[in-house]
Amino acid sequence: MGHVNETNRKDFVQNVKHLRLSRLIVILSLILFIVPLITHYYLSSVELSSDRITHNAHSHVDLPEDLNFLSETDLKSRIDELLRIKGSVSSELRDMENKRQKLQQELQQYSRQIEQLKQELAHQQTELDKLKISVQQAQVAQREALEQNSPELALPKKLVANELPDFLPLSSKTVSKLCRLSTCFDHSRCSLTSGFPVYLYSPDQYPVMNSGWDVDGFLKTTLKQALGYNPHLTSNPKEACIYLVLVGEALKDFDQPSEDISYSENIPLNSEALKHLPYWGGDGRNHVLLNLARRDLSVNSKDLFDGVDTGRAILVQSTFTYSRFRSGFDLIVSPVIGPPGGDVWQECALMLPARRKNLLSFQGELKSARTVQIKENNSQYTLDNFIQKHLKELSQTSTSDKFYFEFECNPAVDDNMNLGLTDWALCGTDSSRRALLRESTFVLVFAPVSSELISTSLLQARVYEALRSGAIPVILGGDQIRLAYDEVIQWRRVAIFLPRARVTELHFLLRTFPDSDILLMRRQGRLVWERYLASVQSTIDTIIAVIRDRLNIPPLPVESFPALSVFNETFQPIRTVVNVEEEQDESLGPLEPPYNSPAFKRNFSLMLTQGYEIWNDWGDPFHLYPSLPKDPMLPSDAKFMGSERGFRPIGLGQGGAGKEFSEALGGNYPREQFTILLLTYERDQVLLDSIARLRGLPYLNSVLVVWNSPKPPSPELRWPDIGVPVHVIKAARNSLNNRFLPLENLNTEAILSVDDDAHLRHDEILFGFRVWREYRDRIVGFPGRYHAWDINTGNSWLYNSNYSCELSMVLTGAAFVHRHYFYLYWKMLPQAIRDKVDEYMNCEDIAMNFLVSHVTRQPPVKVTSRWTFRCPGCPQSLSEDDTHFRERHKCINFFSTFLLFNCWRFFQVLYASK
């Protein structure tokens, strides 16, 4: 207890001492601050008084009362003393003021340092967060790589046969008539990864026609030429999957006297010559016999295969009877009426107006009526004669609809009047029929008179001519026939199929079609005609593609453009690390190593799941692409139930705000990155500055610079190191079309096409990327434009760049585009479009908008409020020149005349809401 009291007493004494010391410090502080102030005030008063005394030396009234008793010497001494004190105090005050100012400066400096440290701390914290996110994403990617139990698919490796077909005994005719792929085709020669090699027998080296007959020379030449452009052609018969034999069109050699031709030689095809083909293998399996009609389109011509044992060969021709045609094995094709190949756009038919001069038209003559009779008004009429009578009466009615029917041909001018014709014959010349069809909304096409015929060359030729001119075929007897390639083409979207008995309902039915459906069928007919029927090239490619499709063998991969670097072994770029000021404080996403978009994942499932769309809509059945904008996506819950690999849901599926949003792309598409493609021409420093600004951009895979200048880059240039590969590609020539080259090192589906002088913030780029992921089949970008109708002339379009809520284009100077459209730009667009771009050195962005709008039937998507871009310090932009806009007016109208009015649809107009 005593010890405690002693401790308390010592603490109390210690506290008293501290208290006294504190008071003493306070008193001294007050003295140090108050005394100088009082002194300063007093000296200031004395100085004022002395000034008054000095200025009023002869006045004793103003002097202080106590100074009157001082002598002059004392007064002077007193004044000197006060002045000395004043000077001393002023000096001390100045020193104190200097110290105070220095302390304030140091305080401000420390405050600035504190703020800088805070900013640096925030920056480092942001970098740390980015690294944490990147590490997390890398860990997820590593775990997925370890957990996956199958490797990523790549291009299929070819596995082909290496020996000639074995000789097998000839099968009976009964077996041949019942042929199917399962019974008459050797699948062992056609591996899924074989690439479907096709071998062509030379018609000159291996003739299969009897004496007095020959194959049309035009077909011989064009077939070789067309197959030469087909990637499936092989010169090695050991690895071939199928063997093509050209057996028609057979022409009679009229120079040879008829008495020198035996009865057996009246049959054009020589059975023995077929059997002696070197790779026939005894029964003709895997052989395809091509009978391509071109001249004689009548059904009266003798069937080329009649009386000939074709074994297990596949027959390809336009004329078939029900008894001969083997469904799923033989193939009905269209006659090769068109040119050998090349650009068929000069044959474009006007899309507008939807309704033409004639609602319905027909030109033809019935040479022999069917024996089927109907009873009407107690009189017997043949069905086809009744149809003629009804149509004649229809054309004479008082309806506002106009009809044109011609049921009698003029032999003097008709080009298909062959004696002995037993069906509907063509009337008029090709040019006169084409002129009539261009004035007809619908055209009547009669099925063959004989019910035994499933298809004829004449029927297929009439459909060909109708689609070429944009008239919608109405096939009377459509329940009886089959059209070319109908196992893959949806003909009901192109033509109207009616039984003959419904002819009286024909006018009513046609009147029910609105303009929108008329245009839809006309566009679909245009697509089918152009892609599969228009030329010999398209016919041959389609025949091969259909047979390959039956075997579920994928097409060959599409060819990319080689990416030749401007650098070489002796010229290597100088890399330099640049410090670019951060544009955003917050984290915009993880920084990852380059990750290429998975390619060729649907080699064998694509045609099974989306085959009809590929043949009839947006697809291309002749090439295999790394990926498609229309690739299907999984349902939203699949990524949590067994299909989670590759997905990065926001907040691991719980969602979240900005922090969680920036950590993962989310959405219903797996992880991916994008490539930036820059087109440049002699603006080196502008280009380098643009590349430098990309440092630290999340989800950036690589940067491709297309060097359009003929001069190589200067060796003195210092290329910024931005953390991702920068490839500088040498262009073959200076062309704005190079902006859309499908280069082989475009490794992502998303391509950000950017002008070298465009300045986009990182958050804008990523926002556009996230939007594009939800609209992958469209152009998604920043500067919007639209095409406006010229109300002054009323017959043309204007390119409009004014600020507007209406837009129909998004310029590709700053836009995301799917890689697939780069291939289509060079494969689908007519060459005349690219030539016009080169002529004006302008309008490539408009052409791409035309292309995507045509393929998707959708408008582009504009993001952010940007309408244009400014580049301080850049040379004057081409877009500031009046000539630039005049050329774009011309481009819009040229493209519209050449594509939209003639062949394609109009732009969709989007009212900006995003």
Q: Evaluate whether 846 touches 854 at the Cβ level (below 8 Å).
A: no
CA–CA separation, 398 and 51 (whole Å)? 124
- Looking from the CA of 203 toward its CB, the CA atoms found within 13 Å total 24
Buried b (16+ CB within 10 A) or exposed e, 338-357: bebbeebbebbbebeeeebe
Helix (H, G, I), strand (E, B) or coil at 672: coil
* Whether 845 is catalytic: yes
Peptide bond into 649 cis (omega under 30): no
Terminal CA-CA length for the chain? 83
d(CA 845, CA 811): 6
Give CA–CA dist 234/228, Å, rounded: 9
Total residues found in the chain within this entry: 914
Q: What is the pLDDT of residue 15?
A: 65
Q: Provide CB contacts within 8 A for 112, sequence distance 6+.
A: none
Which segments of 357-471 are extended strands (E)? 358-366, 373-376, 379-382, 403-406, 424-426, 440-446, 453-455
pLDDT along the chain (914 residues), means of 10: 52 62 67 65 54 44 54 82 86 89 90 87 78 79 71 68 82 79 93 94 88 77 90 95 87 45 60 91 94 66 76 93 92 90 67 92 73 36 78 85 88 44 72 92 92 91 94 95 96 96 93 95 93 93 97 94 86 75 72 91 91 92 94 91 88 87 89 96 91 93 95 90 93 95 96 93 94 96 90 83 86 96 92 92 94 90 77 52 86 77 41 38
CA 859-827-736 angle, to 5 degrees, is: 75
What is the reported pLDDT for 251?
A: 59
152 three-state secondary structure? coil
Q: Please list, in sequence order, all residues whose beta carbon lies within 8 angstroms of the beta carbon of residue 237, skipping any fewer than 6 positions away.
A: 164, 199, 243, 278, 279
8 A C-beta contact, residue 682 and residue 758: no
Residue 179 contacts by C-beta under 8 Å, 6 or more apart in sequence? 312, 326, 329
- Quote the pLDDT of residue 345: 64
Residue 2 confidence (pLDDT): 47
Active-site pick, 283, 414, 423, 845: 845
Q: Whole-angstrom Cα distance, residue 576 to residue 366?
A: 82
Distance of alpha carbon 414 from alpha carbon 423, whole angstroms: 15
Residue 13: what pLDDT?
54
Residue that the structure tokens 């925030």 belong to: 122
**Going by C-beta distance under 8 Å and a sequence separation of 6 or more, which residues neighbour residue 437?**
361, 443, 465, 466, 468, 469, 470, 471
pLDDT of residue 609: 92
